[in-house]
């Protein structure tokens, strides 16, 4: 009986360790990285390793340092339109897919930053994925916004520029709506103006979250 109990305890511990290593599809184990390297090449493995190392380096940093480090890291990735990259009109990639392929569009940059900062302990109520119109480009765009306090003008993390500026210093962006893991708001001048529901109304977001949680990579 004692032997059986010890075996069950060991099994539970192993399953817990496996769950922790999955890290919500963000923390990758050495085995995960090696497997992806075998499948997708040495450069993909190096990018994933650099990402994991970044999170270790920023673990005890201030939130501002985390914002700056994560923003700079992902802004090195190539911008590629979904039609060219995924042969789809609109595809929201997981951070792993984004780094393996070394490319993505504005949603992928914002999503990768969101999940990485979330993993680093930045509360999701301080962050939103914001749909905006990039006025100079005359096209829809997505950025990550960060609210130091609930009523603050948010900081904008954007792949178009390297500097992190407050929304009022980005007149080139017209804010339309914003969302995070919980809620969906209409936005005005960068601020959450009106709560209009939860983020489950956004089907691409729901699909993305399930793939991130399952650490599911789809590169077909």
Q: Is residue 19 part of a domain?
A: no
Q: Is residue 204 part of a domain?
A: yes
Q: Is residue 110 part of a domain?
A: yes
Whole domain around residue 47: which residue ranges? 29-213
Q: For position 188, what pLDDT does the model report?
A: 65
Q: For position 25, what pLDDT does the model report?
A: 72
Q: For position 23, what pLDDT does the model report?
A: 46
Q: For position 208, what pLDDT does the model report?
A: 79
The domain total for the chain is 1
Distance CA 16, CA 34 (A): 21
- Give one word for 178, left, alpha or beta, with left for phi > 0 and alpha for psi -120 to 50: beta
Q: For position 14, what pLDDT does the model report?
A: 33
CB 67 within 8 Å of CB 157: yes
Q: Is residue 88 part of a domain?
A: yes
Q: Is residue 151 part of a domain?
A: yes
The series of mean pLDDT values per 10 residues for the chain, 220 residues long, is 37 33 71 94 97 97 98 97 91 94 96 95 92 93 94 94 96 86 66 62 75 74
Q: For position 183, what pLDDT does the model report?
A: 65
Q: Is residue 206 part of a domain?
A: yes
Residue 199 belongs to domain with CATH number: 3.10.620.30
Q: Is residue 7 part of a domain?
A: no
Q: For position 66, what pLDDT does the model report?
A: 98
């Amino acid at each position: 009986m004692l032997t059986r109990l010890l075996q069950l305890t060991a099994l539970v511990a192993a399953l817990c360790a496996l769950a922790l290593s999955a890290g919500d599809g963000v923390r990758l184990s050495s085995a995960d990285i090696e497997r992806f390297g075998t499948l997708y090449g040495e450069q993909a493995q190096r990018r994933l390793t650099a990402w994991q190392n970044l999170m270790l380096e920023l673990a005890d940093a201030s939130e501002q340092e985390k914002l700056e480090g994560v923003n700079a890291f992902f802004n090195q990735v190539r911008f590629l339109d979904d039609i060219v990259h995924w042969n789809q009109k609109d595809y929201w990639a997981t951070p792993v897919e984004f780094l393996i392929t070394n490319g993505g569009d504005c949603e992928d940059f914002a999503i990768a930053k969101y999940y990485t900062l979330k993993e680093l302990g930045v509360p999701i109520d301080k962050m939103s994925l914001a749909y905006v119109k990039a006025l100079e480009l005359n096209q829809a765009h997505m950025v990550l916004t960060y609210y130091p306090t609930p009523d603050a003008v948010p900081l904008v993390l954007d792949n178009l520029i390297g500097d992190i500026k407050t929304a009022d210093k980005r007149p080139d962006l017209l804010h339309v709506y914003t969302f995070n893991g919980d809620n969906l708001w209409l936005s005005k001048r960068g601020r959450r103006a009106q709560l209009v529901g939860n983020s489950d109304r956004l089907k691409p977001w729901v699909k993305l979250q399930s793939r991130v949680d399952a650490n599911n990579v789809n590169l077909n």
